[in-house]
Amino acid sequence: METAEKTLDEILTLAATHFKVPREKLSPDEDFFKALGIDSLQTLDLLTKLENHFHVELPDYELQGVTDFRTLAGKIQARL
């Protein structure tokens, strides 16, 4: 099983790569909507990327109100 820190690191790397943002500019507690400059459709795209990467299912409603990478990592970690 992956550790929470490893999960968080993989999310940050994946988001940086996919949305072409320098990895070092992303921090765990940052608002990812602002950091990545993404809208609702791109958020769904990110959700799909994360599900495919971690091989998990993330129901949309579990992510309602989640805006930072660390909380997002916790939600994924709970399904690994």
Partner 1 sequence: MVVTAKGVAPSVEEFKGQTLSWQVNSGIIELALYRTPCNELGSLSLGDLEQFALALGQLENNAHALIVHSELKSGFCAGADLRELYQRSQAIAKDDAVRQVRDFLERIHAVLNRIDASPLTTIAAVHGVTFGGGLELALTCDLIIADKTARFAFPELRLGLIPGFGGIPRLKRDVGNAVIRDLLLTGRSFNSTKAQHIGLVSQVVSEGEALRAARATATQIGKFDRHTAATAKQFIKPVPYEELRREIDIFCDLFSRPTVQAGLKKFVESTATQPYLP
Nearer to partner 1, 8 or 54 (CB): 54
Instruction: Please report, as ranges, the residues that interact with partner 1 according to CB under 8 A.
Output: 33, 39-41, 43-45, 47-48, 51-52, 57, 59-61, 63-64, 67
In this structure, is the dihedral angle defined by the CA atoms of residues 59, 77, 18 and 36, taken in order, positive or negative? positive
Backbone angles phi, psi at 55, to 5 degrees: 55, 50
Nearer to partner 1, 4 or 42 (CB): 42
CB of 27 or CB of 48, closer to partner 1 = 48
Q: Cβ of residue 36: shortest distance to partner 1, in angstroms?
A: 11
Q: Are 72 and 11 in contact (CB under 8 A)?
A: yes
Query: Max Cα separation, the chain?
Result: 32
